[in-house]
Structure 1
């Protein structure tokens, strides 16, 4: 027993324990840093993809909205892009964003099926809060993106 408690043994045991603790700590720190960086990169990529998708959808809606003001027929070929983008929104977005996207597209289609609008009617629509479906969609997107970021 006396040989076991010898100073040389204790020093060797302490050095070995220190090396093990140092190695485990280094590994844990590296793993945690790498995991955190990977998560941040994934989140940045996801936010960028959503921003791009939402921007393209709003551009598509704005084009359809402008066409709808002077038309009384639905051009289904023009709607395909908006429906495709809406489908992608449904795959990756929260409920409020999906609902706002759906309301906006339905509003534009309903607008198209109505009579062409005069310039005065178009101007009046700009003041009508219920007609700002693209703005409502943008607000839902902004809320979601802030919650994710």
Structure 2
């Protein structure tokens, strides 16, 4: 075989390998960036969902403590957020959200609380029905951060 043909083939193979390596590196970089953007977007979406849930649950709970007639629109919105959590969140977060929903419904069935009773509940911490939910959310976000490392 002619030396010039071997040199030409070596150059072509080298160029092909270099081009393939470049394409593969670009693909891996793109894939990594897309995953990072998706995770960041997912985290923001969860934060917004949890924020809305906490605000809605607080409104519903305060209403439940003071009234025996439930605000069905607010409860519907709250349970819609719980349903979204069942899809987007960890099982622990969704389960804790469901516990909060049941506590709120149970509070509507309990006798109305006076302002003094609510003050006592604040003092002894029994009014805080969101504590376990907050802990579950914090653990979920820590888990998501660990996946990025």
Range into which the TM-score falls when normalised by the shorter chain: 0.7 to 0.9
| RMSD of aligned residue pairs (Cα, Å) | 1.8
Q: Distance in 1 between matches of 2:57 and 2:27?
A: 45
| TM-score of the superposed pair, with normalisation by structure 2 | 0.87
Q: Indicate whether 1:48 and 2:44 are aligned.
A: yes
Q: Indicate whether 1:34 and 2:27 are aligned.
A: no
Q: Distance in 1 between matches of 2:123 and 2:20?
A: 64
Q: Distance in 2 between matches of 1:33 and 1:123?
A: 56
| TM-score of the superposed pair, with normalisation by structure 1 | 0.87
How many residues get paired?
A: 145
Q: Distance in 2 between matches of 1:12 and 1:127?
A: 85
Partner of 2:144: 148
Moved over 6 A (4+): none
How far residue 37 of structure 1 moved from its aligned partner, in angstroms, is 0.9
- For the Cα contact (< 8 Å) 1:61–1:105, is it kept in 2? yes
- Structure with the greater relative contact order (CA < 8 A, sep ≥ 6): 1 or 2? 1
Larger Rg: 1
How far residue 30 of structure 1 moved from its aligned partner, in angstroms, is 0.7
- Structure 2 residue ranges without an equivalent (≥5): none
